Amino acid sequence: MAGPSHDPALYRTRDVVPVRRALVSVSDKTDLLTLGEALAAAGVEIVSTGGSATLLREAGHTVTDVSSVTGFPESLDGRVKTLHPSVHAGLLADLRLEDHERQLDALDIAPFELVVVNLYPFVETVRSGAQGDDVVEQIDIGGPAMVRASAKNYANVAIVVSPSSYPAVIEAVRAGGTSLVQRRELAARAFAHTAEYDRAVATWFSEGTLTQPDLPEHLTIKAERLATLRYGENAHQRAAIYTRNGGHGIAQATQLQGKEMSYNNYVDADAALRAAFDMVKPAVAIIKHANPCGIAVTAPNALDPIASAHLRAHECDPVSAYGGVIAANGTVTLKMAENLKDIFTEVIVAPSFEPAALEVFKAKKNLRLLQLPEDWQQERMDVRLVSGGLLLQDADRFPDDIESVAKDWQLVSGERPADEDMTNLIFAWKACRAVKSNAIVLAKNSATVGIGMGQVNRVDSCRLAVERAGDRAAGSVAASDAFFPFADGPQILLDAGISAIMQPGGSVRDDEVIAAARDANVTMFFTGERHFFH
């Protein structure tokens, strides 16, 4: 059934809309009092429901209950509150039309110029393990109806579904009203918000969970623009950073100081997280152009574990570390900050920073410091855009019990090392995952000493890793992200004095590679699993 049509000549121009009346009904109360204070200061009438009304009223603001607008009490345990013509007529009236204005006057209904609504925590409830009616009760009905009505009427109403939009809306209210462009952008976010919400509800009804057991037939990704960046990978490319709904990663980090983050800063910071957070012990990764130039965990019995890890990572390749991006999987300490005073660094990302470390970093005003959200977590799925579509895969993760898994690695040459040496091999295997293919990592005492990456053949990666390690190659262990197709690559490592090699195995020439290791009396493991990173 088609909607009504109108003569374009009947529509009056309406760009800036002053906010005189706002409807506020939010589940997420983040920054609600800041918004309420700004609306009250601007003389805006606030109409609200339930907990939102109570919180605003307790803060000293005058609030009109929705029930006094509808003349109908909240009923059915709150299931029916805003589903009423007195509310929805005020949301849907197109005041560019004189006829709509006359009808509102006749009905004695006042319009809304601002609607602030976010929905019941359905997703959070499912993820908490709730089931049955407990989940069903978190399916919002009135909220999506208000959001969609307001978004449809963006010509007259500004719809806000996230606290992240509050600052811009507050500024607009103070400046005299919201603009048409702003309202349209808010409407786009609102429709995306309800679409994602409906998708989650539909998935739960069909699967009983929010996690698809298989790769989904339809994929919806919701993201909101967080900031426009100065430029992209190169100066002639436009760029922006977006936050994904439900994300807990680098895009949600808080910048504590420094210049504006660039596109390349974000890419490198994300790569640094990939490297540092694979490690269980205090670890630091230094990244340059999305590749590690050093990864290390703390030295045994170090007085300051994270500072120790940084120094050991830096020693791998001090030249490349200049202008690098650093990730630490623990709190950045004063000692680590002091060690970095004379090292040019673009970004440091960590879960937290000691106050004394922040004081040291203040002297480096351009240094960007990113603090991860408390609920930071590695992604479970990887998404990559390609021409005309996208690729989706499970994230490449190591099992939590990798030490137990390592016991099942196939020993094809030499003797099984002692536990301490196996720890070093496991470190090298984890570090290799963070290096762009073809990847070769040389490690000693759970710190990289040479890295070969991004080459179009594995022989060149072996040469590069040995060259960068220099004298440190002797006695180190080597990890390869994929099998050796010939014995020429391993021979370079063996000639450099490598004590052990680990690789996935699976080449038609495995016998040749194994023979080379046995001739050199060097330990070699087949893991049976590769870790390409393109």
Q: Indicate which residues carry an active-site annotation.
A: 152, 289
Two structure tokens written together for 176:
């005299």
Question: Is the distance from CB of 405 to CB of 525 less than 8 angstroms?
Answer: no
Q: 353: which strand partners?
A: 332
Question: Is the distance from CB of 383 to CB of 391 less than 8 angstroms?
Answer: yes
Closest C-alpha among 63, 104, 102 to residue 87: 104
Give 427-489 as a 3 state SS string: HHHHHHHCCCCCCEEEEECCEEEEEECCCCCHHHHHHHHHHHHHHHHCCCEEEECCCCCCCHH
Q: Half-sphere exposure (CA, 13 Å, Cβ side) for 63?
A: 23
- How many other CB atoms sit within 10 Å of the CB of residue 522? 20
Closest C-alpha among 53, 56, 55, 59 to residue 67: 53
Report the C-alpha gap between 264 and 294 in whole angstroms: 18
Q: 303: which strand partners?
A: none
Report the C-alpha gap between 215 and 428 in whole angstroms: 31
Question: Is the distance from CB of 120 to CB of 139 less than 8 angstroms?
Answer: yes
Closest C-alpha among 515, 529, 484, 496 to residue 412: 515
Closest C-alpha among 338, 333, 326, 396 to residue 368: 326
Two structure tokens written together for 107:
């009905």
Report the C-alpha gap between 205 and 203 in whole angstroms: 5
> What stretch of H or E contains 391?
strand 389-394
Helix, strand, or coil here: 151?
Answer: helix
Report the C-alpha gap between 115 and 90 in whole angstroms: 10
DSSP-derived secondary structure letter, 75 = B
DSSP-derived secondary structure letter, 252 = G
Question: Is the distance from CB of 18 to CB of 179 less than 8 angstroms?
Answer: no
Could you tell me the CA-to-CA distances from 301 to 98, 281, 304, 309, 425 in Å, in that order?
78, 12, 9, 12, 20
